Chain A
Amino acid sequence: MQRTVLVALALVALPLSAAAQGLAGGAAGFNVQRRVYHQGAVYEQTGVWYGASGSALLGPVRLGLSGLFGSLGGGGPQAPDLTIRATAVTLHFAVAPWVLVGAQAEARRFEADAGVTSWRLIGANVRLEPGLGLAGLTGLADVSVLPASSVSGGPSLKMAMQATVGVGFAPAGSHLGFRLGYRFERYDISASGTSPERYEQFRGIVVEAGIRLGR
């Protein structure tokens, strides 16, 4: 799945980037806390994820690609340590200078000693970047609703939602930009076989630094 996504992404992204009127890229850190509710108990893990992202602008269209990797641990015997890798692609259309609507597809891979679990998260995304009165100072509200999501070879996700709220600043005359946000993700995994429903949520501060070329 991930390979297919990457190949498709490359086929779309490379020609688009060549014709792009603007390019942006950056690095991010996500100080994440994971909580899992399973069979009446709540487990909590923490970790730090790192990632990179890039986007190309062509007229009102913005194509974005991002990746995260990191680990989670500290959940005790019932919650084994995990390494995680996530790759997402977004395609946005700017309906206003500060309003983007589009679609998102993400593959997320959890690897533990007991095995590997993969999620496919597909849905819609709305991103608001309103100005806050000063040049380069913008707010951020990024909400994804991912109804077409499932666990690979497993149950579907009854609810999959991601939201990031924060503030960004790009100093005037500079190509650099910085962003501070609070990210919250919720996933309700359907019951499967003898396994009851399981709820997971990820939350924490996201810090990003990036560079923007072109408009």
Chain B
Amino acid sequence: MRRLGIALLVAMAAAPPLRAQGDAATLIAGARVQLEQFNADSASALLERALTPNSGATVGQRVRAYVLYGIAQLSARNPASARQAFRRALQLSPTERVDSLEFLEPESLLREFNAERGAVVAATAPAVSERLVVQVALPVDTTLAIADGRLPISPVPSRKARAVVAVAPADAPAAVLWTDTLPAGATGSLGWNLRGRDGALVPPGRYAVLTTAMDSSGGISQTVERVVVLSRAAADTQVPSAPLEPSAFAPETLRITHGSPTAILFGVGLGAAAALLPSALGRPELNKSLAGDGTAYVVAGSVTLAGLVGFLAGHRVQPLPENARRNAQLRQQDAANREAIATANARARENAAVRVQLEGGGP
């Protein structure tokens, strides 16, 4: 059966040239089938046919054929021949990848293929003067709004290459917060939104902007590191008003220099009572034909005098409820104003813009 299949495939390969291209594809497909069935020798035979100059195979088909041939040689424990096939494939297609074929020879395919890739790249690497480099342009000092501000990062490779930009804390470059790629050939800027992977604004501090370029031939530039310093810009806050001066308040009481007139009334009244007590309460039989009690007059005079002194030297306080109400309103209004300012200031600090300064990029 196996021999019959090979004969059939060889016969197909020997068909007229007009069908050569299609025959190459058939041979390669057949070889793939044989590889999957662990028939490395059969696969090699078909591929040798596909790689003959008159097979009509395209470059892509030839690359594919070399790769499969190398796999077949690995299966046949012939690594030198396999690497030679891989080299041919890589010389035709430097960026060729074989990851999808790893299952055919999982033990050594990637190792051998990539080793050969290194050798090919080294052999075909451009001269030092032509080494891929990347420059990155960053604003020296800019201020960004936290809502939609983006730090423009402009990578410029020395030749056509894609540029990968990553941002990480300067003291922990492995902890990448953000990354983006500028496609090869594209110009312009990438914009970091100043946020980490969790979407939260990163705290003020030093951050490294790491830029690497990679071209289609596998050339990789050295990583360029620029450090930017993030800080919160001064918030536009309001100065809280000074505490209300005592003069701002109206007096809530009125000090009246004289005592209440009732002091006089009480003094005079009690004095009169003292003077009149003997005659008012005493029995006429006891008071008749007797002189008045002088001691009562002494006390009466004393009490009256006390009332007069109290009125003249005393003072009283008259409450002014209208002023007290107005003062209370003033205090409430002042407290409300202070709270509003404090709230606005807190919001302003929370939304304060972020200043980004390029370290070593300016004065």
A interface residue numbers (CB < 8 A to B) = 31, 33, 35-37, 42, 130-135, 137, 139-141, 161, 163, 165-167, 169, 180-182, 184, 186, 188, 199, 201, 203-205
Contacts and interface: CB of A to CB of B under 8 A. Distances in A.
B219 interface: no
Contact of A37 (B285, B303, B307): B285
A161 B281 contact: yes
Interface string B311-348: 10111100000000000000000000000000000000
A31 B294 CA distance: 12
A203 B307 contact: no
B310 to A, nearest CB: 3
Contacts of A163: 277, 281
B285 A42 contact: yes
B312 to A, nearest CB: 8
Q: Most chain-A CB neighbours within 10 Å: which of B299, B309, B311?
A: B299
A87 B270 CA distance: 27
Given A35-B286, A140-B270, 4 more contacts: A132-B311, A139-B307, A182-B295, A203-B278
A165 B303 contact: yes
B293 A33 contact: yes
20 contacts: A36-B286, A37-B286, A130-B266, A132-B266, A132-B307, A132-B314, A133-B258, A139-B270, A139-B303, A139-B307, A165-B273, A165-B274, A165-B277, A165-B303, A166-B302, A167-B306, A180-B302, A184-B282, A199-B283, A205-B295
B313 A133 contact: yes
Q: Most chain-B CB neighbours within 10 Å: which of A33, A132, A141, A165?
A: A132
A35 B273 CA distance: 20
B277 A184 contact: yes
Contacts of A139: 266-267, 270, 303, 306-307
Q: Most chain-B CB neighbours within 10 Å: which of A31, A33, A42?
A: A42
A182 B299 contact: yes
A142 B74 CA distance: 130
A131 B283 contact: no
